[in-house]
Amino acid sequence: MKENIVLEMKNIHKGFPGVKALQGVEFTLREGEIHALMGENGAGKSTLIKVLTGVYEKDEGDIFLKGYDKAVSIRSPQDAQRVGISTVYQEITLCPNLSVAENMYIGRTAGMGQNWKKINADADKLLRSLDIPASATQQLASCSIAVQQMVAIARAVDMDCKVLILDEPTSSLDEQEVEKLFGLMRNLKEKGVGIIFVTHFLDQVYEVCDRITVLRDGKLVGAYDIKDLPRVQLVAKMLGKELDDMSDIKSEGAVYSGEDAGTAVLEAEGLVSDAGIKPFDFYINKGEVNGFTGLLGSGRSECVRAIFGADRVVGGKVKMHGKDVKISKPIQAMKHGIAYLPEDRKLDGIVGDLSVRDNIILALQTLKGFFRPISKAQAYKYADEYIKLLDVKTASADTPIKSLSGGNQQKVILARWLLTHPDYLILDEPTRGIDVGTKVDIQKLVLKLAGEGMSITFISSETDEMLRTCSRLVVMRDRKVVGELSGEQLTQNMIMNTIAGGNRDNAEN
Amino acid sequence: MQKIEKKKASPMEVMKKILGRQIFIPIAALLLLVLFNLIVDPSFFAVVMKTNSAGNPVLTGNLITILDNGSELAILAIGMTLVTAAAGGQDISVGAGIAISGSVMLRVLCGTNPKPEAIQAPIIVAFLVGCLAAMLCGAFNGALVAYFKIQPMVATLILYTAGRSIAAWVNHNQLPIVPPGSFSYFGGVIPGIPIPTPFFIAIGCMILIALVLKFTTLGLYTQSVGINESSSRLNGLNPILIKFLAFVILGICVAVAGLIKVSRFSTINYSVIAKDIEMDAILAVALGGNALSGGKFNIAASILGAYVIQFLTTTLYKFNVRSDALPAYKAVVVIVLVVASAPRVREYLNGLKKKMIQNPSRKEVG
Amino acid sequence: MSSEKAMSSGKKSGGIFRNMTDTNLLLTITIVIFFVMYIGAMIFQGGAFLKPQAFLNILNSQAALIITACGMSIVMITGGIDISVGGVVALVSMSCAVYLDFQGGNVFGALLIALGIGLAFGIIQGALVAYLDIQPFIVTLAGMFFARGMTTIVHTEPFNVTNEQFVALKNTRITIPGLGSMSKNGTYVDAYIEIGVVVALLTVAIFFCVLRWTKLGRRFYAVGGNSQSALMLGINVRRTKFYSHLICGLLAGIGGFIYFLHIGSGSPSHASGMEMNAIASSIIGGTMLTGGVGNIIGTLFGVLSLSTIQNIVSSAGLGEAWWTGITIAGMLCLFLVIQSVVMARKKKALKS
């Protein structure tokens, strides 16, 4: 092992039933560097982190650490801490009701007694040396989220860590707080700690990191020095599209040609919710398919959730068919003919223990109201119709939806909303985590529905899906709408450029 | 080969299907109790026609006692099942609620005079006022649970503590006695009908809830909210309202149970009436195979569970167990039940089962 | 821009809340309310409230409640609940009474019985809650019914204990010099407390220190505050939960003995509703139902507030029995609302 390398992961394999999550991934971390681990959802970042921290056991491969002659075996988070690997997660894993010092030292030693005076003094010293604006005896809950994040880091540092993993630490911080956190990271870098930084924010990567490792589909794409990898190329590598891959995919479906084509179905102005997005304007026409694009965490879902009233709307105006409407609850949106297929299928979509039939009729039923239940016979009719139409693979309409595969669950949720015959359908990541066949089915269906006059917003992490279906794309970065592309502009390159933002001239490379 | 295997699997699968049905648990428990009594003393099941003190012919026997005394519990089980399904917790103030609504009914029936010559208001008015009181209690609990998001058991603790005191306060701690007349029919027998009225009231409640479940979407909404609140909200439901509604419906059940209870004695004892009934009602829901953490429910199974508990109680009485020692036995049943259904225990048992299945196959390979 | 503005204004309005821990904030509210109430009673109702012995009598009669409420607070801080304590107290006093009078036992043996019963309940309930993941409410509800049922199985009729050794201990009074007062016929009567009060105050002192300064104590707070985080911080969450129930059971046993010492008889109806009083005291004392926040000193003041308000109600002419239950429930409700309002404001102040 070279002198300045603290961590080396070689030929890491990890599989789950039916999925190869990691295939021969290599990863090297040097002393005193901040190393970004990049990749879209499902690329294998979190699996790699979990293998490293002992949450998962690897199937194959070796992990070498500085100071150990042989490969180390890490079987539990405690093992990882013992050999000097500490992790700070996106959700703060501290106890807000305890003091800062307690959070830094609790659970680390055995025995009954504790010299709190010494601990408070030690904690204060450490906090000061790391420039963390908190005092040892303060209650953690009274610190800002950023400071809490820093306290978690301080705890990790105090445990003599050589490798510090920061798993999306910045997603709930504002700009100033991020700056503070970066200050701390640079400070640690000076002290020789190797930092693995996982984030979705490109700006932050280019601000603070030294090197980048990119993963895609469980495989290593490559490791690069930051100065050798311009943004556009990074995005291309993450999405798996080379720059010269210019093949222009045009919509194949029939285009809606009714009289009212081109009239706005929904217009939103300065819409903003409490989920942390900047106010945005938006419109969609009759029979149009448009999409929100941007990397994960850029605020795509938050925008459509605001339109549907799923988050608390705090400002802005919405017009449906040219008339002002008030949408603050999902039911109001539904009554105006909006349907929303949520991003998180498990958490927000399926009602797990209920049957496929009940899941299909749920939305229509709430629209019909409490005193007009859909009869069992009618429910079966609807269910059978849509099971056939969407080719849902289920034993029967009475099967609990949780026992279906992901793709079939998604089809059931889609059926639920199609059954309400909406004017405007929002599909948030309908193709995530489902098999390829179903992905194609869903895209075809989107084009067919649009041809029949439905307005559809389609969100996907996979750009080529968006290119195939959408005629207009709203581009988002860091929770802001940063551009809109349509017609000729709809190319991989253009999208990547707009997502990457900033140094546009790199695109012409 | 394959054909033979299929044939072999089918009776197993039928078994599995029967075992998998939720209602199997209370039925099995009931059968077990019946069997036990058949072996120990078959005369347990004797039903004879006797003439009661008022000169009416009535059926008597342990089975009739079970159907009669189990009525209140069966009615409460309906509401408790809904609350459990929607809120994922239980209401422990139902006993106190019965005391309040019963006290209110007596107050309306007797007026200010604790021993009136004749009832001061029509029974239906008394019942409706009592019902309103119980629904208010339910609404109070519901508001704390649904709106303030306090755990159901803790929120209902308030009324559990205060309920019986409020009931005493309603009648200024006097014990009004309803003059003899038709009021006693609700807890006794109607002249000419040999079966106790509470049984008919319970049947009426069951039919009513069956109709409500058929002609409204209550069932679907309640289960949906109990299983996945976030998803329900995105489908246009109002989880707060539905939880609140479940508590109010339980309030109505409490009022009906209260009517039967006070009618049985034509008076009320604030500290004893419907004592510990909340425990039995929760137990009925659990015995019915409903998850106490909410979600899918089966009211028929809960009702059956209620009668199983009454069966158990009557059996224990027959073995001369004192009424105030009963809770100790029931507590043992509860603990056995929750331990058997605890996810960790189930996981462990499943693991054991797998090992047992895997081991022989491994031997074959070896 | 606007967010900055909101930040500065939030700082102003939330200033007091910000710099205080949740525990101390709720504790302060409780203590202030208690003193306001007691001093108010002294001014407006005078009479009994002016005598120090009146205050000491509250301690004498509530010593057992103070001890059981301490255990309750610890379980609640850890995020659980234990409603079996009333039943355990009744079972302990009945068992001790039967042992002393019918079996000819001595006081020391009775004490061992009390500790044994408490410990047994603590261990079994703790194991079911911590290691089998069963809801604490269900487990301890069953525990309560079991204890109540067992009490009547041990003995059905209430009776007074006549064991000499015990009666002597029961009548032991510790006089407190300087706080006596003149009785009606002009003789000076010393102020006194019973043995139970010493035990109760000792319990409060010990568990205040345990919760404040030992690792175990801080782990209770950590598990109650966020058990997932506690696990990530390397705390054995299951064992911590188990200990909380164990301590609560043990304190219920001790509380049962003190209750028995005060009341001197065994009866199935003893300590009825005590679990609710203990929970109410803890909540009034600033222990949060959701766990992670609470203080033993607060619990002490919770018990005192509870009995003070009962005294006020009864001396205000509302002597009827039902007022007690209604008052306790009313106070419980009030403090629940105060907790949620204060916490909501605090959260808001932190957010902006």
How does DSSP assign A397-451, residue by residue? TTSBGGGS-HHHHHHHHHHHHHTT--SEEEEESTTTTS-HHHHHHHHHHHHHHHH
Give domain limits for chain B: 68-304, 322-366
Tell me which residue of A105, A130, A140 sits closest to A120, measured CA to CA.
Answer: A105
Is residue C274 a contact partner of residue C86, using CB atoms and an 8 Å limit?
Answer: yes
Give domain limits for chain C: 25-38+47-346
Burial of C128 (0-12, 13-18, 19+ CB in 10 A): buried
- Residue A505 is predicted with a pLDDT of 41
Cβ separation A106–C218 shorter than 8 A: yes
DSSP E strands in B29-140: the ranges are 48-51, 57-60
Q: Which of A95, A141, A142 sits opposite C229 (nearest CB)?
A: A95
Rounded to the nearest 10 degrees, what angle do helices C107-132 and B343-365 cross at?
60
Q: Please compute the mean of the pLDDT values over residues A91-107 and round it to a whole number.
A: 83
Determine phi and psi for A22, rounding to 5 degrees: -135, 130
CATH class, domain C25-38+47-346, is: mainly alpha
What does the block give as tokens for A23?
Answer: 């295939």
Whether residue A364 lies within 8 A of chain B, CB to CB, comes out as: no
Nearest residue on chain A to B242, judged by CA atoms?
A370
Is residue C66 a contact partner of residue C200, using CB atoms and an 8 Å limit?
Answer: yes
3-state secondary structure of A90: coil
Question: Which runs of consecutive H residues, i.e. helices, occur in A159-241?
Answer: 175-190, 202-208, 231-239
Nearest residue on chain C to A79, judged by CA atoms?
C234
Residues of A in contact with B230 (CB under 8 A): 347-348
Asked if residue A18 has pLDDT above 70, the reply is no
Q: Residue C348's pLDDT band (boundaries 50, 70, 90)? A: low
- The helix, strand and coil proportions of chain C, stated in percent and rounded to the nearest 5, come to 75, 5, 20
Place of tokens 């106490």: B292
- Residue C3 is predicted with a pLDDT of 39
Q: Please compute the mean of the pLDDT values over residues C131-138 and round it to a whole number.
A: 84
Residue A204: partners with Cβ closer than 8 Å, 6 or more residues away:
A170, A178, A182
Nearest residue on chain A to B212, judged by CA atoms?
A371
- Report the range out of A59-68, B249-258, C284-293 with the highest average pLDDT: B249-258
Sign (positive/negative) of CA torsion B36, B40, B46, B50? negative
Cα separation, A273 vs A280, in Å, equals 10
Residue B102: partners with Cβ closer than 8 Å, 6 or more residues away:
B130, B167, B258, B259, B261, B262, B268, B273
- Residue B5 is predicted with a pLDDT of 41
Residues of A in contact with C21 (CB under 8 A): 97, 99, 139, 142
- Residue B335 is predicted with a pLDDT of 84
Cβ separation A95–C350 shorter than 8 A: no
Determine phi and psi for A110, rounding to 5 degrees: -90, 180
Q: In chain A, what are the domains?
A: 5-229 (3.40.50.300), 249-337+423-435+449-490 (3.40.50.300), 344-421 (no CATH)
In tens, the pLDDT along A227-272 reads 888 877 887 887 776 544 333 334 455 577 777 777 889 999 999 9
CA dihedral B241, B247, B253, B254 (to 10 degrees): -150
Minimal CA separation from B48 to chain A, in Å: 44
Q: Residue C1's pLDDT band (boundaries 50, 70, 90)? A: very low
- Residue B160 is predicted with a pLDDT of 87
Asked if residue A394 has pLDDT above 60, the reply is yes
- Residue B43 is predicted with a pLDDT of 85
- Residue C115 is predicted with a pLDDT of 96
- Residue B41 is predicted with a pLDDT of 84
Whether residue A306 lies within 8 A of chain B, CB to CB, comes out as: no
Residues of B in contact with A371 (CB under 8 A): 215-217
Q: Residue C289's pLDDT band (boundaries 50, 70, 90)? A: confident
- pLDDT cut 70: percent of chain B above it: 91
Whether residue C323 lies within 8 A of chain B, CB to CB, comes out as: yes
Q: Residue B362's pLDDT band (boundaries 50, 70, 90)? A: very low
Interface test with C, best of A50, A88, A98 (most C CBs within 10 A): A98
In tens, the pLDDT along C292-342 reads 888 899 999 999 988 888 888 877 766 666 777 788 788 878 877 777 777
Asked if residue C250 has pLDDT above 90, the reply is yes
- Residue A229 is predicted with a pLDDT of 85
Cβ separation A354–B224 shorter than 8 A: yes
Minimal CA separation from B159 to chain A, in Å: 30
Is residue C261 a contact partner of residue C63, using CB atoms and an 8 Å limit?
Answer: no
> Exposure string (b/e) for C6-45, b if CB count within 10 Å is 16 or more?
eeeebeeebeebbebbbbebbbebbbebbeebbeebeeee
Nearest residue on chain B to A352, judged by CA atoms?
B227
Is residue A88 a contact partner of residue A157, using CB atoms and an 8 Å limit?
Answer: no
Residues of C in contact with A142 (CB under 8 A): 18-19, 21, 350
Instruction: Report the helix count and the strand count for chain C, using DSSP H and E.
Output: 15, 4
Q: Please compute the mean of the pLDDT values over residues A69-78 and round it to a whole number.
A: 81
Whether residue A17 lies within 8 A of chain C, CB to CB, comes out as: no
Q: Please compute the mean of the pLDDT values over residues B335-351 and round it to a whole number.
A: 76
Q: Please compute the mean of the pLDDT values over residues A170-197 and round it to a whole number.
A: 83
Nearest residue on chain B to A306, judged by CA atoms?
B234
Size of interface B-C (CB pairs under 8 A): 123
For residue C207, the one-letter residue type is F
3-state secondary structure of B312: helix
Tell me which residue of A437, A490, A483, A450 sits closest to A468, measured CA to CA.
Answer: A490
Residue B56: partners with Cβ closer than 8 Å, 6 or more residues away:
B189, B191, B192, B194
Determine phi and psi for A484, rounding to 5 degrees: -140, 135
Whether residue C280 lies within 8 A of chain B, CB to CB, comes out as: yes
Whether residue A223 lies within 8 A of chain B, CB to CB, comes out as: no
Secondary structure letter of residue A132 according to DSSP: -
Interface of A with C in 134-173 (CB under 8 A): 139, 141-142
What average pLDDT does chain A have? 83
- Residue A69 is predicted with a pLDDT of 82
Q: Which of C133, C149, C325 sits opposite B165 (nearest CB)?
A: C325
Minimal CA separation from C30 to chain A, in Å: 19
- pLDDT cut 90: percent of chain C above it: 36
Looking at this predicted complex, what is its ipTM?
A: 0.80
- Report the range out of A434-443, C236-245, C277-286 with the highest average pLDDT: C236-245
State how beta strands A85-88 and A163-167 pair.
parallel
Q: Residue B128's pLDDT band (boundaries 50, 70, 90)? A: very high
Q: Please compute the mean of the pLDDT values over residues C157-170 and round it to a whole number.
A: 88
Q: Residue A113's pLDDT band (boundaries 50, 70, 90)? A: low
Is residue C172 a contact partner of residue C152, using CB atoms and an 8 Å limit?
Answer: no
Whether residue A95 lies within 8 A of chain C, CB to CB, comes out as: yes
How does DSSP assign A349-398, residue by residue? I--TTSBHHHHHHHHHHHHH-TT-PPPHHHHHHHHHHHHHHTT---S-TT
Whether residue A116 lies within 8 A of chain C, CB to CB, comes out as: yes
3-state secondary structure of C154: helix
Residues of A in contact with B215 (CB under 8 A): 371, 373
Cα separation, A40 vs A219, in Å, equals 12
Cβ separation A81–C23 shorter than 8 A: no
- Residue A196 is predicted with a pLDDT of 93
| Chains with at least 3 CB pairs less than 8 angstroms from chain B | A, C
Cβ separation C222–A93 shorter than 8 A: no
CA dihedral C274, C276, C278, C279 (to 10 degrees): 170
Cα separation, C318 vs C321, in Å, equals 9
Cβ separation A416–B296 shorter than 8 A: no
Q: Residue B10's pLDDT band (boundaries 50, 70, 90)? A: low
Cβ separation C292–A107 shorter than 8 A: no
Q: Residue B301's pLDDT band (boundaries 50, 70, 90)? A: very high
Residue A202: partners with Cβ closer than 8 Å, 6 or more residues away:
A231, A234, A235, A295, A477, A499, A500, A501
What does the block give as tokens for A210?
Answer: 């030294």
Q: Please compute the mean of the pLDDT values over residues A346-354 and round it to a whole number.
A: 88
**Cα–chain-centroid distance for residue A488?**
29
- Report the range out of A435-444, A463-472, A490-499, B68-77 with the highest average pLDDT: B68-77
In tens, the pLDDT along B169-178 reads 888 888 888 8
Q: Residue A154's pLDDT band (boundaries 50, 70, 90)? A: confident
What pTM did the predictor assign?
Answer: 0.77
**B206 or C190, higher pLDDT:** B206
Whether residue A369 lies within 8 A of chain C, CB to CB, comes out as: no
Residues of A in contact with C23 (CB under 8 A): 97
Cβ separation C215–A141 shorter than 8 A: no
- Report the range out of A241-250, B222-231, B271-280 with the highest average pLDDT: B222-231
In tens, the pLDDT along C76-132 reads 999 998 989 999 999 999 999 999 988 888 889 999 999 999 999 999 999 999 998
Cβ separation A174–C3 shorter than 8 A: yes
Q: Residue C20's pLDDT band (boundaries 50, 70, 90)? A: low
- Residue C290 is predicted with a pLDDT of 78
- Residue A110 is predicted with a pLDDT of 62
Cα separation, C2 vs A481, in Å, equals 20
Cα separation, A141 vs A156, in Å, equals 19
